[in-house]
């Protein structure tokens, strides 16, 4: 099975740059996307319900903001979208999709920047991290195989961004954010990409300033984290910087179909 994640930074804009063609050619069985920034009724029918795909949508209450969606070749047993706190749920940041014994948590973690790029949203961001941790950890302890995928909006370690020294005060690489990410790893969640690739210069997001992506001055902030039970079925993990259409690139894993249980 191929399971992919992509922050599309506006699905309508990404569609104009070839999203549907990419989806069909991706070879994926499950695709989670983040930052949809559109209601389903604002999208063309071929995107809301592509032939051969099951879709699920979790838009934000605020138009043009946030939102996640799931495309899957298999029909999910069920999809939940609530963390049980309105301050999170109104922003359309989560889908928990069950496929047999596999759970896909498709998440768009908050950015810590406030309106004035003042790091004022970091407490909210960390609260979201902790609330989701508790939710997926219960699923993991219940014997399910869990993959948490999406835009985590945090570069875990210095190797995960091109200019760490310049960004220690920037949301996405603040010590408290990195510490929270590390808590997930220490708690048993596995960074699937780092499991296979320990080297530098691998990123999933680049500033839209001219030439930045070409020079690969980026951040790795998009992940697939696996519970140990899920990781036993993961065969490889990849980034796809060659895929354009957003300031992020897709990330993903290949897993054997027995992950479904």
Place of tokens 């895929």: 243
Q: How many CB atoms within 10 Å of residue 258?
A: 13
What region, left, alpha or beta, does residue 25 occupy, with left being phi > 0 and alpha being psi -120 to 50 degrees? Answer: alpha
- Our answer to whether residue 89 is catalytic in this structure is no
Closest CA to 240 of 226, 256, 253, 257: 253
Of the residues 151, 160, 191, 222, which is catalytic?
Answer: 151
Beta strand 2-7 with 251-255 is antiparallel
Q: What sign does the dihedral 72-75-77-78 (CA atoms) show? A: positive
Give the β-pairing of 30-34 and 2-7: parallel
DSSP 259: G
Q: How far apart (Å, rounded) are the C-alpha atoms in residues 60 and 67?
A: 5
Q: Which residue shows structure tokens 């069920």?
A: 78
Question: Could you say which DSSP state residue 161 is in?
Answer: B
* Residue spans of beta strands (DSSP E) within the chain: 2-7, 30-34, 54-58, 68-72, 78-80, 94-99, 102-108, 145-151, 190-191, 205-206, 218-219, 222-226, 234-239, 251-255
Hey, what are 152's tokens?
């985590």
Radius of gyration of the chain (CA): 17
Task: Kindly list the catalytic residues.
Answer: 151
């Amino acid at each position: 099975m191929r399971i992919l994640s992509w922050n599309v930074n506006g699905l309508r804009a990404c569609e104009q740059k070839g999203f549907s063609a990419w989806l069909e050619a991706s070879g994926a069985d499950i695709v989670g996307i983040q930052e949809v920034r559109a209601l389903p009724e604002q999208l063309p029918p071929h995107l809301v319900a592509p032939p051969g795909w099951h879709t699920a949508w979790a838009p934000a209450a605020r138009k043009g903001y946030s939102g996640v969606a799931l495309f899957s070749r298999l029909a999910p047993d069920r999809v939940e979208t609530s963390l049980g706190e309105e301050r999170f749920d109104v922003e359309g940041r989560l889908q928990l999709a069950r496929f047999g014994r596999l759970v896909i948590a498709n998440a768009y973690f908050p950015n810590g920047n406030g309106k004035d790029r003042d790091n004022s949203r970091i407490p909210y961001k960390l609260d979201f991290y902790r609330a989701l941790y508790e939710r997926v950890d219960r699923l993991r302890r219940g014997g399910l195989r869990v993959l948490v995928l999406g835009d985590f909006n945090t570069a875990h370690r210095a190797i995960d961004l091109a200019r760490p020294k310049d960004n220690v005060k920037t949301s996405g690489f603040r010590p408290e954010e990195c510490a929270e990410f590390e808590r997930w790893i220490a708690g048993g969640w596995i960074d699937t990409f780092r499991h296979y690739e320990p080297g530098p210069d691998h990123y999933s997001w680049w500033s839209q300033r001219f030439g930045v992506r070409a020079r690969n001055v980026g951040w790795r902030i998009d992940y697939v984290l696996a519970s140990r039970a899920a990781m036993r079925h993961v065969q490889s993990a990849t980034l796809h910087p060659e895929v354009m259409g957003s300031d992020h690139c897709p990330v993903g894993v290949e897993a054997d179909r027995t992950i479904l249980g």
